[in-house]
Amino acid sequence: MQPETNNLPQSSPSLQFPNLSSVITTDDVSQKGTGSYKADYVNWCRTMHLLHDHAPGWQFCLAYYVDNSHVWKAPNGTAYVVGYFTGPNSERTPDFPQAIMDNRNNAIAYEKVSARDLTDSHRRCLCTAAAAQFGLAWQLWAREDVENPHRGESAPAKPEAKIKGIADKDQPLSKEDREQCLGLVKELTPKNLARFCTDFRRDFNLASDVKVAPALTDVKHKDWMNANFKNYV
């Protein structure tokens, strides 16, 4: 005798999450670091803006650990967070873990996690979970080209012409290079900014009261940042 199949419960269809794989353009991409430390990224605030525009009603959350904290403890005593998205109709994406790391990308011990570590990891987890679950900015993680919304409208910028009679290291920075260097400096914490300025003045024989930003003008200053900036982030 064949079993009855008419009254068996129907399988639930797979949840359809927003597909944002083609949303970002080069206008959304920022850069940090210089030289070999240069990396493309989408700022967490821009990520939220794109989610609001293209996935309305979806909100990012951090799951609670057993002690009602957002910080989870790994078997080896290091810390991580677990992020997920909720949808406008009570949908929920799978959990997405993100290690809580220091500025060298080493996992931080659970007992040593600070409020700053947690908030930084919340932003990181937001961006990585959005890439994993919705495909938002996946190209940056896979190192694929990002759509340029202005392609064909302007020719590539020509390299700055060198000034004759001036050594390469003393050549002035292009406007773009200088803005990038100053942008990196602005992202430093107050403590690391103070260290950066002290070392910059020392290495370029500047007085202790000289402002660093106006003095950061030449190729040698960018080269110095390429070699040393990793010590301040």
15 found inside a domain: no
Q: What is the pTM assigned to this prediction? A: 0.55
3-state secondary structure of 31: strand
The single-letter DSSP state of residue 163 is P
56 found inside a domain: yes
186 and 114, same domain (yes or no): no
Task: With CA atoms as reference, report the closest residue to 163 among 203, 222, 217.
Answer: 217
107 found inside a domain: yes
Q: What's the rounded mean pLDDT across residues 117-142?
A: 89
For position 138, what pLDDT does the model report? 81
122 found inside a domain: yes
116 and 188, same domain (yes or no): no
Question: Of 126, 142, 158, which residue constitutes the final position of a domain?
Answer: 142
For position 35, what pLDDT does the model report? 60
130 and 84, same domain (yes or no): yes
99 and 193, same domain (yes or no): no
Residue 66 predicted with pLDDT over 70: yes
For 137-190, the pLDDT digits (tens) are 888 766 655 444 443 344 445 556 778 888 888 899 888 888 888 888 888 888
pLDDT band with cut points at 50, 70 and 90 for residue 13: very low
65 and 126, same domain (yes or no): yes
127 and 208, same domain (yes or no): no
For 20-65, the pLDDT digits (tens) are 988 888 877 777 766 655 667 788 888 999 999 999 999 999 999 9
Beta bridge partners of 83: 62, 96
Range of the domain at 47: 26-142
111 found inside a domain: yes
159 found inside a domain: no
For position 231, what pLDDT does the model report? 85
Average pLDDT, the chain: 82
3-state secondary structure of 78: strand
Task: With CA atoms as reference, report the closest residue to 122 among 41, 32, 63, 62.
Answer: 62
Find the farthest-apart pair of alpha carbons in the chain and give their distance in angstroms, rounded.
98
32 and 80, same domain (yes or no): yes
Q: Please give the residue that has the higher pLDDT: either 118 or 150.
A: 118
Domain count, the chain: 2
C-alpha to C-alpha distance for 232 and 103, rounded to whole angstroms: 9
C-alpha to C-alpha distance for 132 and 82, rounded to whole angstroms: 13
225 and 186, same domain (yes or no): yes
For position 15, what pLDDT does the model report? 59
70 and 136, same domain (yes or no): yes
